[in-house]
Every structure is written in C-alpha cells, then in structure tokens.
C-alpha cells in the first residue's frame, strides 16, 4: 500500500545518498521514479541532485507555486510511475505537501520526502511542519554532533564561528555556514554564545573535544 514518507535529519546525515540509492534501486528493477529538487538549490546546477560522496541524478525542479499532483499526473500520462522522491523537502509549501498526499491517496504511488526538520533558529520549516503532521511514516536519519551525542539541530554561523540569530530562513550554504549539533550544543551556541570551531578532520592536531570537526555539512 502506498504511503507518504518523511525522512528527516540534521545536515550531514546522508539524506541525499539514501534518496539516490532508492532511485537506483527502482531503476535497477525496471521501475520509473520521478525525482524533484527545489529551484532555489543550485549548488550543483539546476535540476541536479548530488550527494556528498559523489552520487548524482537529474531531477525536475519545483517552485513554490508548482502543483506537484498535476506534474506527477503529466508524467503518469507518458509512462508508468512507481515512486516519487523529493530532495530538500523542507522547502515544500503546505499546499505541495497536501498535493503529495493526493499522489499517494488517489494515484497509489509512494512518495518519499527527504529534508531537514528545523532551521538555524530551531524553528520548523513549512514543508517539514506539514510532513511531520501528515506523513504516514516518519523516519529519522541520524548523524553525530561533535560532542558525541546525536545531532538533531542546525546552527548558522558567522565568519568567526558564532551563531547567527537573525536572517532569512532560507540561505543555501555548506560547511562555512552551517553545523549540525545536539540540542544541548545548540543551546550552548545559539543562546549561550559559545563559539564553534570548524576544523577539517584531516588537519586535526589534537584540539579540544568541544570543537566541531566536520568538513562538509550540507547534503
């Protein structure tokens, strides 16, 4: 039975790798997945989903106003569709999450959404908010904070390594902008003013364990 899935995590957890592996598995069995990626994420070029380990695939670009149900219906008129995969699903609108639910309920096509749960302020993204509310199945993809605890949150940093508390919710960036942390570390950095040190693990010279050692922080 088709379901709406939401696979969520902090950054640097391998969400995109899981999405691309899922797409490969469908294709390997002669099935047709449809992949979507947000228009605002052009780090690897428009319409390209790429993981940190080098896997990539072409995808259809979605804007906030796109009707995803209608778009999947158009694809379905051309070929059989066996699965819909959405990268960076936190950028979906409320209406689009509803539309993806309609794809599941009316077309009986499974939809797998992958994205962040919260932004740099600890607030839910719109897409994540409604996926958490409406998805049939929630799956957490885990990653680790520099403290050794499970990383569940993300902070946006300035050039000195201090948390930014103001700014637009959406700002694409990598290791120079974001770091995944545990809830406790988030409170220390965001509310307590602690500094985060971004150190490439290959260049680690024995610095203290309370310094972040992550070299690539965005799928």
Smallest CA-to-CA distance from 127 within 12, 4, 26 is with 4
* Active-site annotation holder among 56, 88, 139, 203: 88
Residues 6+ apart with CB under 8 A from 5: 110, 111, 112, 113, 135, 136, 137, 138, 139
Find the farthest-apart pair of alpha carbons in the chain and give their distance in angstroms, rounded. Answer: 59
Q: How far apart are CA 48 and CA 39, in angstroms?
A: 10
Residue 136 CA from chain centroid, whole number: 18
* Residue 79: count of CB within 10 angstroms of its CB: 9
Residues 6+ apart with CB under 8 A from 148: none
42 among known catalytic residues: no
DSSP 4-34: EEEEEE-TTS-HHHHHHHHHHHHHHTT--EE
Active site residues: 88
């Amino acid at each position: 039975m088709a379901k709406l899935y939401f696979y969520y995590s902090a950054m640097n957890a391998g969400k995109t790798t899981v999405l691309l592996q899922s797409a490969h598995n469908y294709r390997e069995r002669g099935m047709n997945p449809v992949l979507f990626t947000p228009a605002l994420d052009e780090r690897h070029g428009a319409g390209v989903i790429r993981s940190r380990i080098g896997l990539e695939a072409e995808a259809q670009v979605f804007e906030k106003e796109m009707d995803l149900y209608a778009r999947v219906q158009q694809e379905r008129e051309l070929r059989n569709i066996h699965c819909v995969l959405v990268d960076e699903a936190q950028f979906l609108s409320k209406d689009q999450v509803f539309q993806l639910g309609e794809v599941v309920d009316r077309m009986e096509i499974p939809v797998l959404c992958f994205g962040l749960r919260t932004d740099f302020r600890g607030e839910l993204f719109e897409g994540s908010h409604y996926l958490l509310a409406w998805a049939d199945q929630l799956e957490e993809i885990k990653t680790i904070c520099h403290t050794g605890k499970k990383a569940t949150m993300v902070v946006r940093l300035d050039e000195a390594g201090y948390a930014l508390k103001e700014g637009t919710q959406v700002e694409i960036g990598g290791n120079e902008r974001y770091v995944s942390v545990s809830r406790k570390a988030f409170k220390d950095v965001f509310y307590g003013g602690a500094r985060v040190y971004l150190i490439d693990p290959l260049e680690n010279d024995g610095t203290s364990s309370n310094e972040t050692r992550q070299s690539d922080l965005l799928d």
